[in-house]
């Protein structure tokens, strides 16, 4: 069985950065499952679909013309890795992610990332639904304030406008939508290791996850 390490957690908890550094350290593939929901949201918005049109959006998701290159994500040949990071796309992604048909449509694509020598998968339901047989499951959290500050910095660094109060509000709404939805709600998987990164640097978080991994998989 190809080993999988899952990292789930709420919005802006730092899981994307931690997941990509852990994948690099282990030489594993990386699945940023949030990007798939963001790509679907971008496609739906561009196709002018209503964000509650489950069937039409699921059809889009099933046939996403996406390619993952080294540091680029191509949608129908167009680089969109920056466009999908906008808050408006994140909010739309969180709405369509509540639709069970859309989630089902993305399962196969997510499973296709499982390749030797291993996979690090980050998202909301990696350990609970998509890779329940993962070797190690991590649930990464941070306080709302710490997460809003990180997201603010991330947006400004990318040259997008950002407003701290609006971000805090957005974050809370997104937390509520992610945890309260019926389909694959955000919650720690059984046996998940909890990591609160509010007062931790990225390096400390990465070191902790790698330590758990080496313990669990018996490697050094």
Q: Which of 125, 137, 146, 213 touches ligand CDP (CB under 6 A)?
A: 125
123 binds ligand CDP (CB under 6 A): yes
Q: Which of 178, 189, 205, 206 binds ligand CDP (CB under 6 A)?
A: 178
Torsion of CA 77, 72, 178, 42, to 10 degrees: -30
- Under the binding rule (CB under 6 A), the answer on residue 137 touching ligand CDP is no
- Asked if 138 contacts 212 with a C-beta cutoff of 8 angstroms, the reply is yes
- For the CA atoms of 54, 98, 101, 128, what is the dihedral angle to 10 degrees? 170
Query: Are residues 209 and 120 in contact, defined by beta-carbon separation less than 8 angstroms?
Result: no
What minimum distance in Å lies between the beta carbon of 215 and ligand CDP?
25
For residue 14, state whether it binds ligand CDP (rule: CB under 6 A).
Answer: no
Residue 33 makes contact with ligand CDP by CB under 6 A: yes
Contact call for residue 21 and ligand CDP (CB under 6 A): no
**H helices within 47-200, ranges in order?**
54-62, 87-96, 100-105, 107-111, 144-157, 164-180
Take residue 71 and report the two structure tokens written for it.
């540091």
Min. distance of Cβ 50 from ligand CDP in angstroms?
A: 18
Contacts (CB under 6 A) with ligand CDP, residues 100-119: none
Which residue is closest to ligand CDP by CB?
34
Least separation in angstroms between residue 180's CB and ligand CDP is 11
Residue with tokens 């639904």: 129
């Amino acid at each position: 069985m190809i080993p999988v390490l899952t990292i789930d957690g709420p919005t802006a908890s730092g899981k994307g950065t931690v997941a990509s550094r852990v994948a690099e350290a282990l030489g594993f593939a990386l699945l940023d499952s949030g990007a798939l929901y963001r790509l679907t949201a971008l496609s739906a918005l561009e196709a002018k679909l209503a964000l509650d049109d489950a069937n039409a959006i699921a059809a889009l998701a099933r046939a996403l013309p996406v390619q993952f290159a080294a540091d680029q994500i191509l949608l129908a040949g167009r680089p969109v890795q920056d466009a999908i990071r906008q808050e408006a796309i994140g909010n739309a992604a969180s709405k369509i992610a509540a639709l069970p048909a859309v989630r089902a449509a993305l399962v196969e694509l997510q499973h296709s990332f499982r390749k030797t020598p291993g996979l690090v998968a980050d998202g909301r339901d990696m350990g609970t639904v998509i890779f329940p047989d993962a070797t190690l499951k991590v649930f990464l959290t941070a306080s709302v304030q710490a997460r809003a500050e990180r997201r603010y910095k991330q947006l400004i660094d990318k040259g997008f406008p950002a407003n701290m109060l609006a971000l805090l509000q957005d974050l809370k709404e997104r937390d509520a939508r992610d945890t309260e939805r019926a389909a694959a709600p955000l919650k720690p998987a059984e046996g998940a290791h909890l990591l609160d990164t509010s007062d931790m640097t990225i390096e400390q978080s990465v070191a902790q996850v790698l330590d758990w991994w080496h313990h669990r998989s018996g490697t050094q």
